[in-house]
Chains A and B, each alone.
Chain A
Amino acid sequence: MTAAPPGYTGPVPYGFGVVELPEGVRVVTRLTEPDPARLENGQPMKLTVVPVGADESGSPVVTYAFSPV
């Protein structure tokens, strides 16, 4: 995603995709890799946490993401 969507103040571009868990659940998630050319369908991924800016008091805000193993 190359443009900041509404309400988002974190870095761009950022990765966005679907990760399939072994239990048969698919999760819509940010990806740490923003370049789709460097991602491959079916590649192993692991859960991580990424910073997406700060709240009104200046405290960092983080969210879940997946990164290539």
Chain B
Amino acid sequence: MSGAHAHEVVVGGVGMHPFGRFDGLTTTDMGVAAVRAALTDAGIGAGAAEGGFQAAFCGTAYGGVASGHKVLGRLGMTGMPIVDVEAGCASGGAALMIAAGAIRSGQYDTVLVFGLEKMPRGIIRSSFFEPWQEAAGMAATPAYFALRAQRLMRESQVTKEHLAAVVVKNRRHGAHNPDAMFRSEVDARAVLGSRVVCEPLHLWMLCTPNEGAAAVVLTTAGQSRGAVRLRSAVLRSHVPGSVLSESTPMAGLADDTIPSPTTRAAVAAYEEAGIGPEDLDVVECQDTDAARELLSYEELGLCKPGGAAALLDEGATMLGGRLPVNPSGGLLSKGEPLGASALGQVVELVRQLRGDAGPRQVEGARVAMSHTVGRGANAGVVVLSS
């Protein structure tokens, strides 16, 4: 997608339903709330229907049949193409990529992108795994996270204390986010005192699957002057062979040079946006577990390979540091509703770039990146700028 862009894409509006547990609400209820907020933010009134947006893409992994139609049906805003998009943790990123491409190509002027989810409690049960894998104890998602964490610790200066420090940092940020599930600070001792799920990962180092919704209106620059620009929205899957890739293979090659899905997506996103890591002011990245955030520092090029511990130690990624990561509190504070999580990051970054992030504002933020990665494998990277 590099080269001349016939139509520049901007963010016309954003909206969110908080992430958490909402026993009295359906997935559709939450989706309606997020979409209504985003449309209001974009100045698209009720009854605008196809005049307001010409297509809608809905990210969800657990939503079931016609999740997007159920939300827009409730709002009486149907008639345009409504397509559900599933790409695991990156579902929202995938929906955003499709919408942005359609606007750039001139197919549509304005597209509604939203994501919603109501996750089962506990370790994620996924149809990705075959019955034999479940029976054999191989559908152990935290164990795959733990293997990646162990490799990171073996190959770099990262220690268990660094993993705890990521949780402390993100929970401190999340205390200022009214859309987060956990809004209390924690200390390292409490994190390391929570039970071990799979060494080295303690319970509090793992994000909580939960519920929520987020929505973004994308449009052409001419329709919304001065708005946040979408510089790139990239999705990549894994290349075969890597045994610890998020593709969760049962076997792979003894080859440590295979690039990760995140690295591939990030390289493409930087190229498409025409920027490099040194241009970023703020990042929202996939902290499904504490080690995953540190891996992302490396894979997104925020530091050199092996440099994640030092970047964290110097305070660079804390609010007030030179490159705050997860000012929203990340998934460790917000929890993770799969279909909504990538768009939740984009909502946060748009607020940051507008200067609307309140006590968690990254001062002077002009260029921002979001990142999600999960099963498939799917890695989504988005670059935004003011």
Question: Which A residues fall within an 8 A CB radius of B?
Answer: 1-10, 14, 16-18, 20, 24-28, 30, 36, 41, 52-53, 61, 63
Contacts and interface: CB of A to CB of B under 8 A. Distances in A.
Contact of B141 (A5, A10, A30, A53): A5
Given A2-B196, A26-B254, A63 B154 contact: no
B4 interface: no
Instruction: Classify chain B's interface size.
Output: 35 or more
A49 to B, nearest CB: 11
B135 A7 contact: yes
Given A16-B146, A36-B199, A63 B252 contact: no
Residue among B136, B138, B139, B249 with the highest chain A CB neighbour number at 10 A: B136
A5 to B, nearest CB: 4
Contact of B147 (A14, A18, A25, A27): A18
A63 B136 CA distance: 6
A37 B171 CA distance: 29
B197 A2 contact: yes
Given A3-B197, A30-B136, 20 more contacts: A1-B140, A1-B142, A1-B143, A1-B198, A2-B196, A5-B139, A7-B134, A8-B134, A14-B137, A16-B147, A16-B198, A20-B254, A24-B254, A24-B255, A25-B254, A28-B138, A28-B250, A36-B199, A52-B135, A52-B137
Q: Top 9 A-B pairs ranked by shortest CB distance? A: A7-B134, A6-B125, A63-B136, A5-B140, A26-B243, A16-B143, A8-B137, A36-B199, A24-B254
